[in-house]
Amino acid sequence: MTEDMRTEEFSGELESADDDALQTPCGGRKRRFEVPAGSKKMRLDAFLGAAAELSRSRVKKLVEQGDCLVDGAPCADADYRVRPGQIVELSMPGASDALAPEEGPLDIVYSDADIAVINKPAGLTMHPCPSCPSGTLVHRMLARFPQLALQEGPRPGIVHRLDKDTSGLVIVALSERARLRLIEDFAQRRVHKTYLAVTRGVPPAEGSSDLPIGRHPTIKTRMAVVPEEKGGRCALTRWSTLYASPSGRFALLAVRLFTGRTHQIRVHLARAGFPLWGDAVYGPNDKTSPAARQLLHAWKLEFAHPVSGEPMSFTCPPPEDFPRAMLALERCMRRVILTGMPGCGKSAVLERMEARRIPVWSADKAVAAQYLPGADGWRLMRQRWGDAFFDESGRVNRTALTRLLAETPGMRRELERMIHPLVRDSMETFFRKAQERGEGVAVAEVPLWFETGWTCPGADIAVIVCPEDVRHARLRETRSWSDAKIAAVESWQWKPEDKIAAADLLIRNDGTLDDLDREVGAFLDALTARQKSEEATLEERWRALWSGEEGQARD
């Protein structure tokens, strides 16, 4: 556009062109253009379309409804040929009552004369609709960018949309030329959009869906996978996993949209078996969900500036409900495995845990239960060894069993292979039920934890530390163990220093019972601090992911 064809806004008379813009009776503004010298005759709608940066269809409508003057005379003929030197005035209608500007928070990431990039909060509707005639993003934009009132229709500046409860980046066209170019860029898929999504369950590391999407055949407020022959439109979504929860409860995905169908990400991921947390429309109506809305955030935008052509790239981290909900999902019950050498005081520690209303489980008691007549372990032992160590009532004679284990090479290992799977199943059932009850911590005492080779992902391994002379004295006094028995039992176990080296946390028990009570309290405090530290590390990692410091979303 030449300097002579530039737009001027005026107040009443032509010679007052530099004054503030005049408000017309309908709340709009007038704009004045001079046909540049030396130009050829051209259609009125073509001239105004280029000068005012409006679509030809909109110019034609304004002209035909009597909003145009040529040299001061009304002109309702869009085909009229304007000549060099003529003055053309166009009255631009203002916003209707439904689009009255409204003050409200507006997170402007970027703006210039033609576009604004906004970080839309969850809960804010994009534009007016029958169910939401006011209080929308458009109303707030009009208060901040009054030039939007020059655009036609109830959705000025809106070139793409986010669902009400989806947060993140949107582009708003502040000029007609930007609007027309952005509409074309979106249609031609030249605008690249990447979202963050938190799914129920963990999908494969990479995935995609090209299932067509259309209006749900029976529920008109929903979208669904619909065959193209029945009205579905092509849709393409690709995702990559940025973080997968070890618990399997959720994953954080980077989702790339190649088309812009309504609810596209939500429909495709739900159809793949991984609906978004908080999405009651396409996922289960879970009243215990820590997410108050679908966890979907427009994370990245990449596009060419609609006027200058300059490459534009924006990244916006999600709001605080993302890490808050993810932490709640990650925050499983703390599983503590309590172990140590014979005589270290495992039973005394369990008693103090129980006194604090912490659920506890004992491997020794689980073994004893398997030795009771009729139990699975009891049946297996009778089948293998007959009456070798059973008394007349059919009960296991522990003294006879211990003697036989010492005299028969390999028998202890064989017995462990029978009993340990049953005991471990009992422990896992204990942990599962405690978690279902919503317990924060549950403790399992397993004397031979390291020796069995068992694992419990995510569990805290706590070793009770006690000097050897103190332990041996306790075993002699409270259990009447001989030195030979102490030596035999300890020979089956790891050395104390090896257990300590493999522990996550230690509980010292070399003093009085009051001392032990304080030690247990300190241990639980350390467990809480450990949880907070792990959560802080996780949150830091997530923030690094969506700030671009760790990993990138893949195309």
Which are the catalytic amino acids?
A: 163
Rounded to an integer, what is the distance from CA 365 to the centroid of its chain?
A: 42
Closest CA to 128 of 170, 91, 100: 100
Which residues sit opposite 242 in a β-bridge?
none
Region at 248 (left for phi over 0; alpha for psi -120 to 50; beta for the rest): left
H or E stretch including 520?
helix 513-547
Residue pair 45/65 in contact (Cβ under 8 Å)? The answer is: no
Cβ-based neighbour number of residue 267 at 10 Å: 26
Please measure the distance between the N-terminal and C-terminal CA atoms of the chain and give it in whole angstroms. Answer: 38
Which backbone phi and psi does 186 adopt, to 5 degrees? Answer: -65, -40
Report d(CA 65, CA 76) in Å as an integer: 7
Question: Please, which residues have CB within 8 angstroms of residue 150's CB and are 6 or more apart in sequence?
Answer: 28, 29, 92, 156, 176
14 is written with which tokens? 């032509």
Report d(CA 136, CA 141) in Å as an integer: 9
Residue 370 C-beta-side C-alpha neighbours within 13 Å: 23
Report d(CA 481, CA 492) in Å as an integer: 16
Which three-class secondary structure state does DSSP give residue 469? Answer: helix
